[in-house]
Structure 1
């Protein structure tokens, strides 16, 4: 199929043209012309407005409805005015302050309230709700027999200069030593007092003419504490008192605090005391120990979370959780109830003071065993224990930080503790050279002040910083 063959070469000429066509062109932008046209408003208008004067008509007033309205709102207005009585919001305002003034205490004044040869000591102190009045009570340090001493309550008012008068503005006399007193938390003229002979008295200081007190009740032994319970809506004031006879009385105060009616009678029965369990019954064997007086109550405080619960401390070291709603009649008496619902770990000595935290669900106790204990309300054992050199007589919350607690007792020292960590607060102190044993201490929440009483009848006024830490 394939054969070898040779052919002749064939050639042809190239047809490529080397000449190129060229053309010249000029490009020029058109000249821009600017035109200016003035603009001016031609038409103007003027508008005038004038009000028409009308004759004022005399308003029609329904005086009967106005009187009904005033009768309805006046009690509430008076209550608010009473709460703010004596307050000066900017009295202690200092725009130019340094770091020292914010963290250090300041001694303001000392009042010698009793004669130099008197044996009276300051038993208790209470500030009025507005902080403008300081009530001071007195008593004999030791009683060999039943108390029949004539004692007194002195009221000191604050002046416009911010100091308190050296002489009392008013004196209330009692037929026995005053052991405890408390101003009403919302009524600035109402003060309750407990006496060594067991009497509970209430004064209404609004009436300057009559200074006769209302006798609320009489305990069978020395009154250990009086307490105004927080009032609920549409309810009357409740006055709670405890005594070394083992009873807690709750009274309703009515008719402008002139009438007292028993609301509840409570008693911690002796069967809750382990020491009393070993005691035999009466000689006849027919009388139960429950029929005797209850445990000697030294102190109590209500819960800040739920006001039906309260903690009771006794002379034998017992700490009891109690409830106002518990119905447990004693001795088949429907008017006498045992409020105890639970018990906490006991102190080795007598309970001297109990304070419930205003912000947390815990409380603090002090005892003659020289211990401060911190308890959770729901736990039986204490969370923390603080050992002290001397016996602590009283505990007080310092308002600048609600976790700071002031303690006082045997000796002149006043120590502050932070209950969150149990450590001592050292950057604020209340030290003086001539103070005797501290007997009481009370904080003025309105004016950042602290009043301190001692066993020689002296009163000290201190200024405390707004922030302790």
Structure 2
């Protein structure tokens, strides 16, 4: 009611309904307490008085009710009170934290990009194969190509870069094209260096682009050696954070005796041939060297078709009694197997697998470690099964069978919920899922009837979600993640 303190008008009042005023009477209470043995004695005296009695209300007085001036007072005060209550409703969306009613979030469609450039031939339509946000959230790179290939890729690939232009009404505007001789299957911006963009192709190449000046000039592209990943499809890419990059750069120093540069970065890439490579890259010094090549599950002589992988998130603030290994990663395969791996040096066995987890029955679409609880990771498979694992156990903590087809997944950065792309969306393109509670979070606005192929989330300020589909369209939404109600139980998996 802070708005009432500034209300400025003439004073309005009304007379008492009492016929005559009586002198003020005192009201007092006296208590004497005494104790002797087990007995006590209490004396009280009350004198109660009021300024009006029933006899004072005559017919003439009752006929004048309400008192003169009351209606005028209410007409002036009530509108201000209602305006202030409406303002409070806008400022505080939750009137009661104890309410059991679940609020429905509204995802606002920020922009829709229709990307049609004639890629493909015949009945094959170009699809969105991958997309990634820059670290600042002001750039979006999109890969366009063929989703399915009968034998090997004979189509050219294309990457389109869109930049957020303030002068253009805060919309993403096409700013750059990057062409490839084969389809680009996956691409990743560096999480902190906005100018570094890496991508992988169906022919096994891994390419690094330096977009420092917002354009692709001569000498700003670095490619992996020929024959990388057995010249087969690059299935996943990931940039190492600072602690993980330091481990592999020290490994490179010990193996080759070369000094590291201040701008050195580490990039991981996996291929369908069962290999996972760690690369030392430096766009300024034009360095693109292999640190180590892991042959996943080579000791068991069963080479997996790797579809995804993820490294555990570091947790330096965890208490020593609750420490977990920070040198492990998980690899998913097309057969549904999940491999628990450990970081190994160059002079050790190239197979990093230390355990085979109780995995899925079909292709693993994606794997992602939790940010809130680093030892927890989730995986989704083609049969719409979502599993929650703890790295300390080989079996899943939870197995959730969803009633809608899934094509991709990613964690929301600020809340323990995963965003799921739907493979056959009839009304919704995306679903937000609370992993701990095992239920959907009610979100309106993800409307559409296409098949989502990839999804990416950026949390630089506003939470923006980009999703690509098989019809060559990219939609960008804004989601108010701060309004998602979470409690301590939501971190208890």
TM value normalised by structure 1: 0.69
Partner secondary structure for residue 316 of structure 1: coil
Instruction: Output one character per residue of 1:352-400: Cα deviation in whole Å (capped at 9) or x when no partner.
Output: 1101001102000111232000001101111111112344222111234
- Whether contact under 8 Å (1:202, 1:257) holds in the other structure is no
* Separation in structure 2 between the aligned mates of residue 102 and residue 352 of structure 1, nearest angstrom: 28
Higher helix share: 2
Q: CA deviation at 1:329?
A: 5.2
* Separation in structure 1 between the aligned mates of residue 142 and residue 366 of structure 2, nearest angstrom: 19
Change (3 A) 1:409 1:270: farther
1:227 aligns with 2:235: no
| Aligned counterpart in structure 1 of residue 430 of structure 2, from 414, 419, 432 | 414
* Separation in structure 2 between the aligned mates of residue 328 and residue 384 of structure 1, nearest angstrom: 38
* Separation in structure 1 between the aligned mates of residue 104 and residue 401 of structure 2, nearest angstrom: 29
Q: Which runs of 5+ in 2 are unaligned?
A: 1-88, 95-102, 250-263, 315-324, 486-493
| Aligned counterpart in structure 2 of residue 239 of structure 1, from 253, 260, 267 | 267
* Separation in structure 1 between the aligned mates of residue 439 and residue 408 of structure 2, nearest angstrom: 18
Partner secondary structure for residue 158 of structure 1: strand
* Separation in structure 2 between the aligned mates of residue 116 and residue 324 of structure 1, nearest angstrom: 43
| Aligned counterpart in structure 2 of residue 295 of structure 1, from 288, 304, 328 | 304
Instruction: Output one character per residue of 1:212-267: Cα deviation in whole Å (capped at 9) or x when no partner.
Output: 52102422210100111112487531110000100001111135262111111101
> Equivalent residue for 1:140?
146
| Aligned counterpart in structure 2 of residue 458 of structure 1, from 473, 476, 480 | 473
> Equivalent residue for 1:371?
385
> Equivalent residue for 2:279?
251
> Equivalent residue for 2:222?
214
> Equivalent residue for 2:313?
304
Q: CA deviation at 1:137?
A: 0.6
| Aligned counterpart in structure 1 of residue 158 of structure 2, from 152, 155, 180 | 152
- Whether contact under 8 Å (1:355, 1:365) holds in the other structure is yes
Runs of 4+ in 1 over 3 A off after TM superposition: 95-103, 115-118, 232-235, 326-330
Change (3 A) 1:209 1:182: closer
Partner secondary structure for residue 256 of structure 1: coil
1:99 aligns with 2:93: yes
Q: CA deviation at 1:163?
A: 3.2
- Whether contact under 8 Å (2:126, 2:144) holds in the other structure is yes
Change (3 A) 1:244 1:209: closer
- Whether contact under 8 Å (2:105, 2:444) holds in the other structure is no
> Equivalent residue for 1:73?
none
1:318 aligns with 2:337: yes
* Separation in structure 1 between the aligned mates of residue 197 and residue 105 of structure 2, nearest angstrom: 33
Q: CA deviation at 1:149?
A: 1.2
> Equivalent residue for 1:130?
136
Change (3 A) 1:364 1:196: same
TM value normalised by structure 2: 0.66
Instruction: Output one character per residue of 1:71-117: Cα deviation in whole Å (capped at 9) or x when no partner.
Output: xxxxxxxxxxxxxxxxxxxxxxxx96573999421112111111488
- Please tell me the root mean square deviation across aligned C-alpha atoms, in Å: 2.5
1:263 aligns with 2:291: yes
1:432 aligns with 2:447: yes
Partner secondary structure for residue 361 of structure 2: coil
Change (3 A) 1:108 1:170: same
Larger of the two Rg values belongs to structure: 1
Partner secondary structure for residue 197 of structure 2: strand
Partner secondary structure for residue 169 of structure 1: strand
> Equivalent residue for 1:172?
178
Partner secondary structure for residue 335 of structure 2: coil
Partner secondary structure for residue 219 of structure 1: helix
Instruction: Output one character per residue of 1:275-322: Cα deviation in whole Å (capped at 9) or x when no partner.
Output: xxxxxxxxxxxxxxx4xx821111000001355211011111111111
* Separation in structure 1 between the aligned mates of residue 154 and residue 290 of structure 2, nearest angstrom: 27
Change (3 A) 1:350 1:239: same
* Separation in structure 2 between the aligned mates of residue 323 and residue 461 of structure 1, nearest angstrom: 37
Change (3 A) 1:251 1:117: closer
- Whether contact under 8 Å (1:328, 1:338) holds in the other structure is no
Partner secondary structure for residue 99 of structure 1: coil
> Equivalent residue for 1:194?
200
- Whether contact under 8 Å (2:156, 2:183) holds in the other structure is yes
Q: CA deviation at 1:468?
A: 2.1
Instruction: Output one character per residue of 1:325-374: Cα deviation in whole Å (capped at 9) or x when no partner.
Output: 367856xxxxxx00011121121111111010011020001112320000
Partner secondary structure for residue 135 of structure 2: coil
Change (3 A) 1:98 1:456: farther
1:338 aligns with 2:358: no
* Separation in structure 2 between the aligned mates of residue 318 and residue 254 of structure 1, nearest angstrom: 34
* Separation in structure 2 between the aligned mates of residue 115 and residue 149 of structure 1, nearest angstrom: 13
Change (3 A) 1:162 1:375: farther
Change (3 A) 1:297 1:453: same
